[in-house]
C-alpha cells in the first residue's frame, strides 16, 4: 500500500524523442519539502493526460511517448518502483479523473527496450477540510461570478452548525430508543458513535474560549495583511498605468 499526500511540479522540455528534466529544480524543491515533511519519501511522479490526436472522438491518452524516459529518471529517485499518477484535466466526464500506473520493462535478449505501463488500483480519500473546500468550489460553479468575496461567512457557519445539531439529535434519539428497548441495538452503529465521541477532545470551557479567541485574532491579522497587500497591488497597478501613458 502506497499513500500519496503531496506533490510539486517539475519543469521539463520535450524535443522530439528526448526529454530534459529540471534536475536541479527537482533537487531543490525536494530538499525544501523534506524540511517541512521529513518523514515523506518520493514514490513516483505525476502528469496530466494529453489529447490523443489520432482519436476522432477527442479522447485523452494517459501514457505519452516520453513517459518511459521520465519514469526511468524517477526510478533512480525512489526507493521502490515508481508510481505514475495521471490526472485527466479534460473534464469530459464532469470530473477530474485519476489513474495510477506501474511499469514493467520489456527485454529482448536481456536488454531493456521499453516499458509497459499497467494500471493499478487507486482510491481517492480527502480530509474534512478538503471536502469543505471542494463543496464550496462546486457550489460557486453554478454562478458566472464564482464565489463572491463578500459572501456572508456567518451564514455558512450557521448552516454547518444546524447540520451538526441535526446529526447530534438523530444520534441522541437513536441512543434513547435503544436504552428504552424500543429498537434493538446495533453493535456497528454503537462502535461508530463511541469512536466519534472519543475523537472529540475534552477541553474545559475557559480553555476553549481562549483558544477560539487566539485563533480569531490570528485570522483577523491574516485578513488585515491580505487587505493591505491587495491595496498595495492596486496602487502599484494604477501607478504603472499612469506612468505608462
* 124 φ, ψ (degrees, to nearest 5): -105, 120
Which helix (H) or strand (E) is 29 found in, with range?
Answer: helix 23-36
pLDDT (tens digit per residue) in 217-226: 877 888 888 8
The answer on pLDDT for 22 being more than 80 is: yes
DSSP state of 204: -
What lies within 8 Å, CB to CB, of 19 at 6+ separation is 12, 13, 66, 69, 70
What would the mean pLDDT of 105-121 be, rounded to a whole number? 78
pLDDT (tens digit per residue) in 147-206: 554 455 667 778 878 888 888 889 889 989 989 888 888 888 888 888 888 877 777 888
What pTM value is reported for the model? 0.54
Angle subtended by helix axes 153-179 and 187-199, to nearest 10: 140
* 165 φ, ψ (degrees, to nearest 5): -65, -40
217: burial class by Cβ within 10 Å (0-12, 13-18, 19+)?
A: exposed
Separation CA 65–CA 71 (nearest Å): 11
Amino acid at each position: 500500500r502506497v499513500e500519496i499526500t503531496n506533490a510539486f511540479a517539475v519543469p521539463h522540455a520535450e524535443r522530439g524523442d528526448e526529454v530534459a528534466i529540471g534536475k536541479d529544480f527537482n533537487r531543490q524543491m525536494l530538499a525544501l519539502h523534506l524540511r517541512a515533511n521529513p518523514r515523506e519519501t518520493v514514490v513516483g511522479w505525476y502528469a496530466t493526460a494529453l489529447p490523443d490526436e489520432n482519436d476522432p472522438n477527442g479522447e485523452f491518452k494517459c501514457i505519452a511517448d516520453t513517459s518511459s524516459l521520465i519514469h526511468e529518471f524517477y526510478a533512480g529517485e525512489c526507493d521502490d518502483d515508481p508510481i505514475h499518477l495521471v490526472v485527466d484535466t479534460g473534464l469530459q466526464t464532469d470530473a477530474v479523473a485519476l489513474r495510477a500506473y506501474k511499469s514493467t520493462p520489456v527485454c529482448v535478449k536481456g536488454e531493456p527496450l521499453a516499458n509497459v505501463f499497467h494500471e493499478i488500483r487507486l482510491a481517492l480519500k480527502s480530509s474534512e477540510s478538503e471536502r469543505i473546500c471542494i463543496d464550496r468550489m462546486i457550489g460557486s460553479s453554478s454562478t458566472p461570478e464564482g464565489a463572491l468575496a463578500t459572501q456572508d461567512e456567518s451564514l455558512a457557519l450557521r448552516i454547518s452548525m444546524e447540520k451538526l445539531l441535526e446529526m447530534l439529535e438523530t444520534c441522541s434519539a437513536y441512543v434513547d430508543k435503544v436504552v428504552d428497548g424500543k429498537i434493538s441495538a446495533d453493535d456497528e452503529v454503537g462502535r461508530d458513535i463511541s469512536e466519534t465521541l472519543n475523537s472529540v477532545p475534552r477541553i474545559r470551557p475557559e480553555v476553549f474560549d481562549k483558544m477560539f479567541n487566539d485563533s480569531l485574532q490570528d485570522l483577523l491579522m491574516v485578513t488585515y495583511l491580505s487587505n493591505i497587500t491587495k491595496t498595495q497591488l492596486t496602487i502599484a497597478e494604477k501607478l504603472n498605468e499612469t506612468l505608462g501613458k
